[in-house]
Amino acid sequence: QLQVVESGGGLVQPGGSLRLSCAASGFTLDYYDIGWFRQAPGKEREGVSCISSSGGSTHYADSVKGRFTISRDKAKNTVYLQMNSLRPEDTAIYYCAATARDTIQAMCVVPLYDYWGQGTQVTVSS
């Protein structure tokens, strides 16, 4: 069973930054597309940013373009989400997910992803 674990969430002020990490348990992430998703209270889960297994293709939701960056560190078997210029509307539980499917240029939609972490809370508040 594939397992991923998120970390790095916390409480930050608007305009601040956080870096989320997604680590694999018992397997290498090199062969999987990885996505970051988030869900705010009362809202549907939405794709934030996704990256292909090679790292050559990425996707960003319009709401985070220019502020968030997804990256792979294959040596550390970890995928990161660097979040800058955070806004209160970024507050949500953030989930890391993996899929062995071909997502086609890191297509970032929930149904394509099979293996989900437990989530890490990000709160942006003044």
**Any idea what DSSP says for residue 85?**
S
CA–CA separation, 77 and 111 (whole Å): 24
The pLDDT of residue 122 = 98
What is the model's pLDDT at position 82? 98
Q: Check: CB of residue 96 under 8 Å from CB of residue 22.
A: yes
pLDDT tens per residue, the chain (126 residues)? 778 999 999 999 999 999 999 998 877 888 899 999 999 999 999 999 999 988 889 999 999 999 999 999 988 989 999 999 999 999 999 999 999 887 877 789 999 999 999 999 999 999
CA of residue 66 relative to chain centroid, distance:
15
Which of 5, 65, 46 lies closest to 29 in space, CA to CA?
5
Which residue type does 16 have?
G
Q: Are 70 and 58 spatial neighbours (Cβ–Cβ below 8 Å)?
A: yes
The radius of gyration of the chain's CA atoms, rounded to the nearest angstrom, is 13
Backbone angles phi, psi at 89, to 5 degrees: -70, -10
Q: What is the rounded distance in angstroms from the CA atom of residue 13 to the CA atom of residue 46?
A: 22
Helix, strand or coil for residue 12? strand
